[in-house]
Amino acid sequence: MNREELYRLRSCFPETPGILGKDEFFNSAVLIPLIELDNHFHLLFEKRAANIRQGGEICFPGGEFDRAIDTSFEDTALRETEEEIGIKRDSIEVIGCMDTLIGPRGITVDSCVGILNIHSLNEINIDKKEVEKIFSVPVSYFRNNKPENYKIVSENSLRFFNSNGIEENLIPIKSNGPDDKRDTTYTFTTRNVLVYKINGEVIWGITARLVYELVKKINSLS
């Protein structure tokens, strides 16, 4: 390789760097819904039905990016919103999209912020197979109340299988006599998790992070 070939690499780099290997993640998208009630904007939340994955957790409408039908992550967010809470996309005014959030379990979350052009929560028709209930919280609540910060310690059991399906140990072993162990830096992780506690409900994890980042943007306008 010579200098001229290296310079030709310039055309291979994106104008705006993204996420390397994003296609290998579980790619999802959510809508961060805003609704105006009594002249104040509220954030709308779902509580997931008890019998589905992560049942009982608080989230925004959203789901997996479907390459067969979605042309963008915004498409995914709007489609899932219509499926979960019955609000059609022509009643949603998207005002912008947030940066991609990478979750701790190989998930990417692209989020769009949108205004629901409806007059009351009574216009929402939830899919009870996926959603137990909805509720709204004034944006002012999040502007006036910071989230609590928790630490989660995760222990991972790592196993590697080569292309022939044979397990191999690729992580160095610490030699401590009969109690040889893999280096715990590979198997233990600690991360910060934001938590809002509101009216008996707990908003945490990815949803809380999206709320926090949105509120930071809103506060920056002041």
- pLDDT, one tens digit per residue, over 71-96 is 999 999 999 999 999 999 999 999 99
Across the range 37-51, mean pLDDT stands at 94
Interval 159-189: pLDDT, tens: 889 999 998 888 776 655 555 565 667 677 8
Angle, CA of 207, 62 and 73, to the nearest 5°: 105
Which residues partner with 30 through β-bridges? 62, 111
Cβ atoms of residues 195 and 208 within 8 Å = yes
Give the pLDDT band of residue 111 (cuts 50, 70, 90): very high
The answer to whether residues 140 and 168 belong to one domain is no
Residue 132 pLDDT: 96
Interval 15-43: pLDDT, tens: 888 899 999 999 999 999 999 999 999 99
The answer to whether residues 42 and 105 belong to one domain is yes
What does pTM read for this prediction?
0.87
Residue 178 pLDDT: 54
The answer to whether residues 64 and 159 belong to one domain is no
Question: With b meaning 16 or more CB within 10 Å and e meaning fewer, what string describes 95-117?
Answer: eebbebbeeeeeebbbbbbbebe
Domain presence at residue 2: no
Q: Distance (Å, rounded) from C-alpha 180 to C-alpha 143? A: 50
The answer to whether residues 40 and 124 belong to one domain is yes
The number of folded domains in the chain is 2
Q: Which structural domain range is residue 43 located in?
A: 24-146+194-220
Domain presence at residue 112: yes
Q: What is the DSSP letter of 219?
A: H
Residue 127 pLDDT: 93
Domain presence at residue 165: yes
Residue 156 pLDDT: 75
